[in-house]
A and B are shown apart, each in its own frame.
Chain A
Amino acid sequence: MSEQKSNETRQIALQTARSTNQRIDNVVSSSLARFHVSHGVGRMILLTLLAFVIFTIAAPQVFLNPLNLQNIAITSPEIGLLALAVMVALLTGGIDLSVVAIANLTTITISTLYSTIAATDEGLADSLGPVIVLVGFVVGLFGGFINGLLVSKVGITPILATLGTMQIFNGIAIVWTGGETLYGAPAMLNTVGTGAIAGIPLLFVVFIAVAVIIAVIINKTALGSTILLQGANPVAAKFSGIRTTRTLMSTYLISGALAALAGILIISRNPTASADYGSSYVLLVIVIAILGGTNPTGGFGTVLGVVLATLTLQIVSSGFNIVRLSSYEYAIAQGVILIGVMVIDQVTRNRQRSAVLKQRKLKVQLQAKDSNQ
């Protein structure tokens, strides 16, 4: 009698243990799942730190020099904004190849306007600074509008539409400048370009502020949600009542605005403008956007990931400079980092899966033993 009872209690205890086990399992796996979503960010933090540590060890005197760190903080913003511009387009399942061309149009507009006015009255040109910068911004925004029109209204594949506009914008810029470098920019931009708050360059502050705004748009607004859904499944987006045209138009406007801002930062840093500035940036910013965890087919991506990817590549770039490696070697490094991260991603995913499997198998065997007894 008592033996039966103890058997029963044992049974109950076993069952409770099992269900608790199950519950813990659920919690663990759901938090694992959550980790996986921000996985892109986690790995980028590691990678940024790694790059930092490597060059600190390789050339501590030069690399950790405040001047060098400032330099990184000054060159990152323009590239970061361009990468964010590409990322926003990638989120909808598109791409924007024209971002660098748009940035150059903005710088050229600003420089031309300034020097034309300054030729007669320099004081007036400087006091009109805000207006001139605004006009430059609007020109960039207009470039984004053209992209949006072609993609959303006309329905041209984004890669082709923006390849076309990239050529057009570039062509316009070359014809306009005659291939020469233009000099001159409003004095206010110089303040932005050289200023600092608590030792942090103003350019970098602007970059972070804009990144935060983009993150808020993507994660906290209806527009952001529709951008992500549009990229995840355009047909289902349509059937859910998402206004495809409006969403895509907004996307390319944002992308154009970011490119224009990048242009403003470029000319703030150095009061010149030319049609072929940053010709190697197009591929670089795509690499950064994808390295930052943006899904190239759309629907997924984080601003933080892209910001960190920007920093990583800038750290590597400056580090290469310090240890006297050429820009060609830097190009190789970009490719290696991108592919390396993708490979590690794939391997860890497989390893995780098989680890879970092994654990399960063990558990099932134990359970089988339990039930045999």
Chain B
Amino acid sequence: MSNTDSTAPDRSVPVLEARNIVKTYGGVTALKGVSLTLTSGHVHCLAGENGCGKSTLIKIISGAERPDSGEILIDGVSHPFMTPKKAIQLGIQVIYQDFSLFPNLTVAENIVLTSAVAQKRKTFSLAQSRPRAHAIVQELGLTLNLDAYVETLSVADRQLTAICRALINDARVIIMDEPTTALTHTEVDRLFALVRKLQARGVALMFVSHKLEEALSISQDITILRSGDRVSSGSATDFDRRSISRHMTGRDIDESRVINPPQYDERPVLEVHALTRMGEFENITFDLHRGEILGITGLLGSGRSEIAESLFGVLPAESGDTTVNGSKVHIRSIRDAIDAGIGYVPEDRLTQGLFLDKSIADNMIASSLDKYRMKNHLLDNKRIARTISVFFDKLHIKAPNVSAPVRSLSGGNAQRVVLAKWLANQPQILILNGPTVGVDVGSKEEILTLLRAEAAHGMGLIVISDDVPELVSVCNRIIVIQQGRLTSSFTGDEIQVDAIQERMSA
């Protein structure tokens, strides 16, 4: 598989070609005859709304799913019965949207495992492979603990592990399905540097991301899907952010800053004073008013997520005071936080946020069951059904009906289910960690509008994100966390993308 190293990247050679791929799931047509070509030395950006079929196309190329019709050609040879094993042996490496790692293996083992498959080896030795894993981690300049079990890792580290696994092999085709959702600038820059190196070596790459700027900066070709159809394709230089989102959604997306003034009651709804958890964050003090949207940002590992998890009782703070509506609360467990009126949309939606095999309806109601208990202790199923259908419509979840299992949803639609679960709970304070991760530009705008509406109804919201433009468009106030400390705070006119980004990496 490494013979491509010697040949100069030939810009016109199609390494992989997908022809008229059709795929249906029950009543849902995920792909309606999509064609696409990956060329040696090119990065191909695949864009489109949530549920338009991007991941499905990728799974078909990698042999994880079988198409209803259409064919995949590699070097001009058709492969009607592709399997993941064969794809790996043909030099196709995929970073799946859900990572597809083995939680019970270490980082190093996960990284080298597929290369054993690629080399058709029956056994593989960790001792021999660890140096290789180490090398790739070094090349990307990462601080990943190679011996940690994947189940203990943060989402970002899991994503980095998946990236390393795809890059370690001498792949000819590398497909990345939203590889950067949990990463910040620094890691993305390093990843892109490596992508450029691979490109120069003649590797064909495909890149899926809802962060359009990022996608544009790295890609040469673009294909845009809409509801399973290819609506546009061409050279990346012919597109910009605006035109891509118009092709994706069929309308212009308004990303301008819209904020409403908070309600300045006598006491803020949430006051956090000198919150500390040694080694994670220290002396964090801020408050939040009703109707206010507070942004918290910072680099990976800065402690921003830990602050949220501590307010939600996952990692209780060691010292400091939390006051809700003027009365002090002691948050020692998640239940304490919920009883105090705090909700939390976690970063890790697959394990912490969702019951994948349960229906959309069951998921949506999971955190508010207590609210629907009638006097006779039974659940008020009529009211539950009403709430569910309200949020199903409000969040425009793309699914045949509310009894579809969440596992069958696309990534962005699954994210909406988590949001719905907490909006249905109507907490006084809602903390959202990466609420629009993996959500397409159009829906992102819808979700931000929804958050504004909740704020206007008196909810206090905290949005944790490294998507600074998103924070700028929705937050009344933004605080920056660096190495566990609150280092700066932006209000009013100070809220500018550049200024904040500068401050973050300073």
Chain B residues 10-46 with CB under 8 Å of chain A are 22, 24, 26-27, 33
Total number of A residues with any Cβ neighbor in B under 8 Å: 38
A225 pairs with B335, CB closer than 8 A: no
Flag whether B401 is at the interface (Cβ < 8 A). Answer: yes
Q: Mark A1-43, 1 if CB is under 8 A from B, else 0.
A: 0000000000000000000001001101110111001000000
Flag whether A369 is at the interface (Cβ < 8 A). Answer: no
A30 pairs with B401, CB closer than 8 A: yes
Main secondary structure of the interface of B (DSSP, over half): mixed
Complex: how many Å from CA A216 to CA B381?
Answer: 13
Cβ 8 A contact of A237, one of B366, B400, B404: B366
Residue of B nearest to A22 (CB): B27
A25 pairs with B378, CB closer than 8 A: no
A29 pairs with B356, CB closer than 8 A: no
Q: A30-B27, A239-B344 are in contact. Are A225 and B351 (CB under 8 A)?
A: no
CB distance from B151 to the nearest CB of A (A): 10
Flag whether B184 is at the interface (Cβ < 8 A). Answer: no
Flag whether B242 is at the interface (Cβ < 8 A). Answer: no
Total number of B residues with any Cβ neighbor in A under 8 Å: 38
Complex: how many Å from CA A360 to CA B31?
Answer: 12
Complex: how many Å from CA A33 to CA B33?
Answer: 26
Chain B residues 236-265 with CB under 8 Å of chain A are none
Flag whether B193 is at the interface (Cβ < 8 A). Answer: no
B334 pairs with A239, CB closer than 8 A: yes
A33 pairs with B355, CB closer than 8 A: no
Q: What residues of A have a CB within 8 angstroms of the CB of B353 in the complex?
A: 236, 239
Cβ 8 A contact of B369, one of A226, A356, A357: A226
Q: What residues of A have a CB within 8 angstroms of the CB of B24 in the complex?
A: 356, 360
Q: Kindly specify which of B135-143, B276-284, B357-365, B464-472 makes contact with the partner chain.
A: B357-365
A222 pairs with B352, CB closer than 8 A: no
Complex: how many Å from CA A217 to CA B367?
Answer: 18
Q: What residues of B have a CB within 8 angstroms of the CB of A225 in the complex?
A: 362, 365-366, 369, 379
Flag whether B68 is at the interface (Cβ < 8 A). Answer: yes
B403 pairs with A33, CB closer than 8 A: yes
Cβ 8 A contact of A26, one of B346, B362, B372, B400: B400
A242 pairs with B366, CB closer than 8 A: yes
Q: Which of A233, A300, A360, A361 has the most CB of B within 10 A?
A: A233
A30 pairs with B369, CB closer than 8 A: no
Flag whether A232 is at the interface (Cβ < 8 A). Answer: yes
Taking A30-B401, A232-B356, A236-B355 as known contacts, 9 extra A-B pairs with beta carbons closer than 8 A to each other, sorted by chain A number, are A30-B400, A222-B369, A229-B366, A232-B358, A233-B351, A237-B366, A241-B334, A241-B335, A365-B69
A-B interface, 9 closest residue pairs, ranked by CB to CB distance from nearest? A29-B27, A241-B338, A29-B26, A240-B367, A232-B355, A222-B369, A240-B366, A26-B27, A239-B352
Hey, which bits of chain A sit against chain B, CB under 8 A? Answer: 22, 25-26, 28-30, 32-34, 37, 216, 220-222, 225-226, 228-229, 232-233, 235-243, 299-300, 356-357, 360-361, 364-365, 368
Hey, which bits of chain B sit against chain A, CB under 8 A? Answer: 22, 24, 26-27, 33, 68-69, 314, 334-335, 338, 344, 346, 351-358, 362, 365-367, 369-370, 372-373, 377-379, 381, 400-401, 403-404, 421
